[in-house]
């Protein structure tokens, strides 16, 4: 095929980008070279619309070993141990083919982690679907959940936490964000930087096929009515092969053979070879005839752009080839020496004794486009004036029933029951709590992790929403007794070519950065997913934040279930009665205007650190952060989990109890303490200037709200647990 501007545009490149390629090469690229440029210069691989803004995020900290720029971030958890973790999107493939899209998303993120020498110990996910009334939603949900479970379960890695939401903005573009944590010794971390000349370049894993070609480019484009035609771009996963690959790689890593290693993810052999060469300031020469292929007559173009799964690229020390081959032969995996490192600083590809590509590495990486796109600044919406008479007419029991049974609050047990969350035997807090927790095997330490997003807040005011989602991640870790260390992010947005969408991205990133910096909660890895839209209809801005923290003694871990009759429940943090953008306002009042709740980072930090102090002193029996649905929703879940009730005190500060119970003011926690510790606890809170109040006392069997309204625990369970089961069985 003769390459020209039209062919370049068909590959997802802009006309000016094609001209730049020709200028950099000082010639017209051939088809293989054009395919390589199109893969490396798309949004998914080059971050051309986001790099400028991502640079502003805080990425360093006392516990940070490796920040952004590698396959995953790495943090120090003491005693020579480290946690490797990252979250990444697989949105477009999952909408096209939900099972394989979600499955290969899980497989891909696990490879990112074990590529660095870490054994995966936990998976999480953040998944978002269209309206339940949308005809596609149920099947998409079922396919995605089974795909996540199918791959993770076969790999023997527990899924310990997650988030699921429904919103009509996802009708045409669902979101599937997968996160993995791995455990590694600090002195056995592996990186992707190639080093040394004439070092053998090794291909290992599965054979290369035609599945997934243009997968990275597809992830950098909007959908249209021809979506079904994109199914061949979705990769096909094999978790059993990945399990073999994991064990083989870890066995090889136990020695001293590996110089660099890189997963073949987006853009396959193209991105893995180029990233290794670029980081090492080297060239790489590859003989494509030596690449193991499962289909006949594959062209150089197809081999380089295939995104077949369960493959790795390794640079070995000289003389280690036979030793390495024995390991991969033992695990029944392909092993082939396909090339070598060079001093040319070029990617040189040979096929049938001809050189079919010769591209300077810097043209693909350093010289890739970087755009400072136009964006619109958002204004903080005016506060809604809600008539008190409207609120007074509402019956609190009726409102509570609707909130607890809402699709975004209801129990997601149907989902996480599809996942194996106890395999490996170290899960000590399963899905359904504030964070999942896994013990570091053979120690008293435990690692907590959560994943959160808040599209509604980010849509209402991106700057505030960006801060909020970091703060919520912070609270979720603290609620289980973990000291927050670092975050990973997956930033899901519409087209960056739209000024409104780009503005949402810029300001969300700004908010994430401000909160992360203030809370000493740096960003160590992440992913950007643009073009989540069908035609011109985009999703609500949805940054997903994966937070990780350390519990030094897992016996001090906190759960949310109420423990003992006669214990007291306190509220930490002030309730102002912020109703705008709350679930109550949107569900009960059908009101979607107004600002999200204010984020006071001083209070977030002070309240959280004070709670950690109380946990360390063994004063806290249970805890839960207050978020979606407000105080009484969080309290109801504590009652359900503990099978206990509570007699609530009458609110002192607000006229209307609806505002008190259903507002979504930030920085708040519910804590359970023994009556004998009340003075000690309140003394510490007062010394730290932490606002608090006594909410009520734990009783049997029912929630008594205002001496008149009573809700049994069985009723609360029924409200909260039936919606999703009924929906999936209907």
Q: Are strands 702-704 and 645-648 parallel, antiparallel or unpaired?
A: parallel
Q: Are strands 568-572 and 692-699 parallel, antiparallel or unpaired?
A: antiparallel
626-655: b (≥16 Cβ within 10 Å) or e: bbbbbbbbbbbbbbbbbebbbbbeebeeee
Query: Residue 689 in contact with residue 607, Cβ under 8 Å?
Result: no
Residue 634 tokens read as: 């969080």
Residue 243 tokens read as: 């399990």
354's CB contacts (< 8 A; 6+ apart) are none
3 state SS for 452-509? ECCHHHHHHCHHHHHHHHHHHHHHHHHCCCCEEEEEEEEEECCCCCCHHHHHHHHHHH
Query: Residue 175 in contact with residue 162, Cβ under 8 Å?
Result: no
Between CA 98 and CA 91 the distance in angstroms is 9
Residue 443 tokens read as: 């120690």
The candidate with the shortest Cα–Cα distance to 360, out of 21, 101, 85, is: 21
User: Of the residues 90, 128, 421, 692, which is catalytic?
Assistant: 90
- Has 90 been annotated as catalytic? yes
Dihedral sign of CA atoms 391, 393, 396, 400 in order:
negative
Residue 23 tokens read as: 């200028």
Query: Residue 678 in contact with residue 696, Cβ under 8 Å?
Result: no
If residue 554 lies in a helix (H) or strand (E), which one and from where to where?
none
Between CA 470 and CA 546 the distance in angstroms is 9
CB atoms within 10 A of CB 201: 27
Between CA 401 and CA 725 the distance in angstroms is 16
- Has 624 been annotated as catalytic? no
Between CA 207 and CA 308 the distance in angstroms is 8
Q: Which residues are catalytic?
A: 44, 90
């Amino acid at each position: 095929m003769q390459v020209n501007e039209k062919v370049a545009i068909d590959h997802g490149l802009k006309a000016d980008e094609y001209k730049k390629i020709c200028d950099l090469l000082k010639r017209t690229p051939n088809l293989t070279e054009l395919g390589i440029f199109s893969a490396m210069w798309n949004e998914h691989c080059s971050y051309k619309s986001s790099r400028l803004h991502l640079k502003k995020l805080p990425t360093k900290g006392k516990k940070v070993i490796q920040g952004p720029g590698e396959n995953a971030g790495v943090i120090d958890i003491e005693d020579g141990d480290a946690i490797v973790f990252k979250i990444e999107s697989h949105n477009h493939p999952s909408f096209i083919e939900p099972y394989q899209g979600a499955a290969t998303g899980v497989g891909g993120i696990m490879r990112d982690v074990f590529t660095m020498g870490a054994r995966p110990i936990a998976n999480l996910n953040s998944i978002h679907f269209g309206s339940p009334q949308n005809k596609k939603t149920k099947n998409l949900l079922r396919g995605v959940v089974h795909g996540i479970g199918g791959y993770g379960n076969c790999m023997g890695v527990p899924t310990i936490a997650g988030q699921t939401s429904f919103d009509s903005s996802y009708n045409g573009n669902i979101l599937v964000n997968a996160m993995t944590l791995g455990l590694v010794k600090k002195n056995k971390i592996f990186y992707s930087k190639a080093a040394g000349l004439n070092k053998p370049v090794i291909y290992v894993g599965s054979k290369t096929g035609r599945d997934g070609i243009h997968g990275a480019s597809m992830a950098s484009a909007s959908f249209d009515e021809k979506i079904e035609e994109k199914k061949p771009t979705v990769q096909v996963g094999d978790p059993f092969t990945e399990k073999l690959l994991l064990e083989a790689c870890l066995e090889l890593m136990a020695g001293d053979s590996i110089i660099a290693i890189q997963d073949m993810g987006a853009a396959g052999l193209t991105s893995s070879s180029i990233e290794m060469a670029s980081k090492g300031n080297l060239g790489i020469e590859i003989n494509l005839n030596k690449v193991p292929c499962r289909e006949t007559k594959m062209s150089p173009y197809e081999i380089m752009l295939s995104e077949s799964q369960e493959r790795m690229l390794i640079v070995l020390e000289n003389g280690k080839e036979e030793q390495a081959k024995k390991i991969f032969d033992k695990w029944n995996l392909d092993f082939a020496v396909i090339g070598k490192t060079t001093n040319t600083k070029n990617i040189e590809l040979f096929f049938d004794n001809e050189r079919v590509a010769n591209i300077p590495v810097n043209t693909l990486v350093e010289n890739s486009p970087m755009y400072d796109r136009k964006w619109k600044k958002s204004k903080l919406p005016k506060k809604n004036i809600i008539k008190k008479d409207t609120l007074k007419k509402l019956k609190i029991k009726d409102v509570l029933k609707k909130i607890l049974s809402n699709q975004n609050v209801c129990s997601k047990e149907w989902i996480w029951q599809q996942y194996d969350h106890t395999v490996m035997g170290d899960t000590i807090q399963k899905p359904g709590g504030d964070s999942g927790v896994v013990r570091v095997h053979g120690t008293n330490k435990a690692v907590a992790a959560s994943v959160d997003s808040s599209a509604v807040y980010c849509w209402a005011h991106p700057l505030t929403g960006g801060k909020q989602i970091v703060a919520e991640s912070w609270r979720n870790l603290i609620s289980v007794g973990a000291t927050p260390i670092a975050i990973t992010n997956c930033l899901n947005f519409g087209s960056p070519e739209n000024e409104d969408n780009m503005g949402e991205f810029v300001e969300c990133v700004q908010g994430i950065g401000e909160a992360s910096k203030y809370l000493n909660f740096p960003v160590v890895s992440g992913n950007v997913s643009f073009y989540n839209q069908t035609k011109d209809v985009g999703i609500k801005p949805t940054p997903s934040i994966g937070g990780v923290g350390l519990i030094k003694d897992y016996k001090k871990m906190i759960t949310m279930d109420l423990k003992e009759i006669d214990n007291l429940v306190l509220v930490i943090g002030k309730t102002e009665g912020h109703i705008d953008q709350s679930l109550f306002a949107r569900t009960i009042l059908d009101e979607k205007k107004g600002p999200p709740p204010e984020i006071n980072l001083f209070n977030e930090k002070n309240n959280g650190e004070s709670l950690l102090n109380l946990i360390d002193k063994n004063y806290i029996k249970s805890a839960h952060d207050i978020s979606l649905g407000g105080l009484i929703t969080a309290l109801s879940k504590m009652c359900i989990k503990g099978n206990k009730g509570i007699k609530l005190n009458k609110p002192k500060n607000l006229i209307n109890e609806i505002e008190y119970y259903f507002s979504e003011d930030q920085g708040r926690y519910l804590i359970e303490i023994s009556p004998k510790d009340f003075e000690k606890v309140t003394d510490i809170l007062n010394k730290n200037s932490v606002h608090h109040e006594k909410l009520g006392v734990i009783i049997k069997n029912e929630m008594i709200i205002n001496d008149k309204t009573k809700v049994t625990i069985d009723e609360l369970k029924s409200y909260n647990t039936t919606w999703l089961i009924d929906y999936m069985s209907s």
